[in-house]
């Protein structure tokens, strides 16, 4: 294997292999996009440049046989005999896609806070912990299944399992422990409805969305459902039911993901194409841009529904209008221009738009005072009953 690696470096240098990624830990080559040209047994550099030095490479006959038998794309991954325990915490964070998990947790917190029920810190903390653990498990299983394809993408070629820093067994054990703990916390510490939503989301992400990415562009719609469930979990944790506000927040998260992901995937089209993922940006670029624009318009309309459904005060419609309309403007620029610059602007603004919108939701929540009033009225009723009994 070492001989193959060094010889491949020489082949790449002299133009016989287009490009490759080398992982020193596993001594394995991950091909980006390879069309093998079998060189003669002896190759001489015949450059006309004065600075060039005539060099020759002896090609190992065994390597020539290997190249003839290899498919156009080398397998992207093999298990390593041992696990790198030097920094397990960082490895677990990368397996969990910690930024994505943080977004999932924050949206569930927003759902909990928006629910028209008394705020309980214990339930809130357990909901956050359980939701985070379920997200960690889902992201780990996703990476486990996609290792051969991640090795073909510049964006994902340095992931933990691709480079062999953890064994597959170790990663799946981490996923099993995380999902078991998370489901137990949600079921016994919060309520059954929240646990059911968490388990459904885990299965939807790992068993349907992940394999669908290589089959159909419908994976984007399924993935958006996955991202829309955490607010439902937070609302259910607080109220033990799902009201109109829960479904509205979920719908907002569902629509937000289309301009966010479509703009992100636009500049990653070569990567997705190389790995064989069926994304709108690759298979139907026009639909990709149209869908992004449609859902920014949908977000603007849904924000107008919030006061009608008695979730927020009326001024929320006017306060959210500027950020929503600018979102629509950037999506229209992406639709009409379809350049890398316009897609980057839309993607970056989507990262700002969501937290701003959630913050406005919380500030304009209509039932803040009602919860306190209800608690005070209940305490007054109890005190009146006690006074009557004493008399």
> Does the pLDDT value for residue 70 go beyond 50?
no
Question: Which residues make beta-bridge pairs with 365?
Answer: 312
> Does the pLDDT value for residue 22 go beyond 60?
no
**Cβ neighbours of residue 148 closer than 8 Å, sequence gap 6 or more:** 75, 76, 77
DSSP track, 183-230: HHIIIIII-HHHHHHHHHHHHIIIIIIHHHTTT-TTHHHHHHHHHHHH
DSSP state of 21: E
Domain 81-242: top CATH class: mainly alpha
Highest mean pLDDT among 144-153, 155-164, 343-352: 343-352
Task: Give residue-wise pLDDT tens across range 321-349.
Answer: 999 999 999 999 999 988 889 999 999 99
User: What is each CA distance from 121 to 127, 196, 249, in whole angstroms?
Assistant: 10, 21, 21
Average pLDDT of span 122-133: 96
Residue with more model confidence, 124 or 368: 124
pLDDT at site 310: 87
Domain 245-366: top CATH class: mainly alpha
pLDDT at site 238: 94
pLDDT at site 5: 41
* pLDDT band, very low/low/confident/very high, at 368 (cuts 50, 70, 90): low
Please tell me whether the overall predicted TM-score, pTM, comes out greater than 0.75 for this model.
no
Q: What value does the mean pLDDT of the chain take?
A: 79
Average pLDDT of span 10-18: 39
Task: Give residue-wise pLDDT tens across range 36-51.
Answer: 333 344 444 444 444 4
Residue with more model confidence, 244 or 368: 244
Would you kindly state where each structural domain of the chain is located, as residue ranges?
Answer: 2-69, 81-242, 245-366
pLDDT at site 370: 47
Cα(367)–Cα(213) distance, integer angstroms: 41
Task: Give residue-wise pLDDT tens across range 222-240.
Answer: 999 999 999 999 999 999 9
**Cβ neighbours of residue 305 closer than 8 Å, sequence gap 6 or more:** 248
> Does the pLDDT value for residue 111 go beyond 80?
yes
Cα(185)–Cα(304) distance, integer angstroms: 36
Task: Give residue-wise pLDDT tens across range 276-293.
Answer: 888 999 899 999 999 999
pLDDT at site 4: 39
């Amino acid at each position: 294997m070492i001989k193959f690696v060094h010889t491949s470096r020489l082949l790449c240098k002299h133009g016989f292999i287009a490009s490759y990624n080398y992982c020193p830990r596993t001594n394995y080559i991950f091909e980006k996009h390879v069309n093998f040209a079998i060189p003669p047994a002896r190759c001489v550099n015949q450059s006309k440049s004065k600075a060039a030095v005539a060099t020759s490479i002896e090609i190992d006959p065994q390597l020539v046989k290997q190249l003839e038998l290899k498919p156009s794309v080398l397998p992207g991954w093999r298990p390593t005999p041992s696990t790198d325990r030097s920094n397990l915490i960082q490895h677990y964070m990368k397996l969990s896609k910690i930024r994505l998990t943080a977004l999932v947790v924050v949206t569930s917190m927003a759902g909990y806070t928006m629910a028209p029920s008394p705020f309980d810190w214990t339930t809130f903390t357990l909901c956050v912990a359980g939701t985070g653990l379920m997200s960690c498990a889902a992201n780990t299983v996703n990476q486990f299944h996609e290792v051969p394809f991640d090795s073909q993408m510049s964006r994902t070629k340095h992931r933990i399992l691709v480079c062999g820093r953890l064994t597959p067994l170790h990663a799946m054990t981490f996923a099993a422990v995380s999902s078991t703990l998370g489901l137990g916390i949600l079921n016994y510490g919060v309520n059954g409805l929240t646990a059911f939503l968490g388990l459904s989301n885990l299965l939807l992400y790992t068993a349907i969305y992940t394999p669908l990415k290589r089959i159909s562009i419908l994976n984007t719609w399924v993935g958006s459902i996955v991202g829309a469930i955490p607010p439902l979990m937070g609302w259910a944790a607080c109220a033990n039911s799902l009201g109109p506000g829960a479904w509205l927040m979920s719908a907002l998260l569902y629509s937000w993901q289309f301009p966010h992901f479509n703009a992100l995937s636009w500049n990653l089209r070569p990567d997705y194409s190389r790995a064989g993922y069926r994304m709108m940006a690759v298979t139907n670029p026009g639909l990709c841009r149209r869908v992004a624009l449609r859902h920014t318009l949908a977000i603007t309309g849904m924000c107008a529904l919030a006061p009608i459904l008695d979730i927020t005060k009326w001024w929320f419609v006017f306060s959210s209008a500027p950020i929503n309309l600018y979102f629509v403007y950037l999506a229209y620029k992406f639709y009409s221009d379809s350049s890398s610059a316009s897609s980057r602007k839309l993607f970056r603004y989507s990262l700002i738009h969501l937290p701003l919108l959630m913050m406005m939701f919380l500030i304009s929540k209509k039932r803040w005072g009602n919860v306190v009033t209800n608690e005070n009225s209940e305490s007054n009723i109890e005190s009146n009953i006690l006074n009557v009994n004493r008399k």
